[in-house]
Structure 1
Amino acid sequence: MFQASSLSPEQVEQISQWIDGGCQLAELQKKIDAELGIRITYMDTRFLVSDLGLEIKSPTEEKVAADAPLQQKVATGHVTVSVDEIVKPGALVSGQVEFADGERAIWYLDQEGRLGLDADTPGYQPSENDVMSFQTQLQSLLQQQ
């Protein structure tokens, strides 16, 4: 089994740069072999990344991160509520809501019957009219189920 402690600080820095550059595990394993001369298994590569406290970015995360500045909230002028087909863990029912100002949030009803709201923007508070519309639509959706 390969130990991260057997790497020099320069090798650790090189591996960190490869990962920051978007290198995936299989590619990282090949680079460690080709450029550092260390033969390592795929599983040991996973453990190495974890031991070094690094995180491999999935290609979809990179695309979403790159597209994020381009996405702007579009105010629809009304509240839209949906119910998840697969309920979030620890909830009786869950879903999404988009408020009139374009802000989105995840909502859930917990085991105690409490309604929770987790907005994309920390600290977001919907308007009183939006809250009333959300509650009315949610009640209607839940009665249909």
Structure 2
Amino acid sequence: MDLTNEQKAQVSAWISEGLGLSDVQKRLAEEFGLNMTFMEVRFLVDDLDLELKDKSGPRPDADLSRAPAPAPAAAPGDDEPLPFPGAEDDMPGGGQVSVTLDKIQRPGAVLSGSVTFSDGKTMDWQLDQTGRLGLIPRSDTGDYRPSEGDLTEFQIALQQELQRSGRLP
């Protein structure tokens, strides 16, 4: 979706004010009548080279002193994981987030695969027909919730992997 220069400037202003992606998504719909998925807004912010402001500090229950577990080997038939470049410098635990794409997609998904977060926990992901991105817990992850930094890295690594594989322009 192409935005006018005025709309791009307004998105930049909203991001500089500290608005999050969902707030920008709502404002685009309310003020410009542009209905975009969360992922489209994320890609727009990336395309405009804008930096989101991190409103949250470290979680009080997060144990940052623990070394991350080694990433599990890719399942047979999966592509090799793509580590997020440069993340080692940004994240306390090493910042390794890797994404794989499934060769055969999950039922009901346009795209699917798995993600291994910086602490070694692995979850499945899928992108549905409406553009919604979802994380699917595995039996060994229980009620695990990845950190905000890992989620951001996941979205960026996913975009890079989709571009590399030719599934995104």
Q: Shorter-chain TM-score: what band?
A: 0.3 to 0.5
Say which structure is richer in helix.
1
TM-score by length of 2: 0.41
TM-score by length of 1: 0.47
Larger Rg: 1
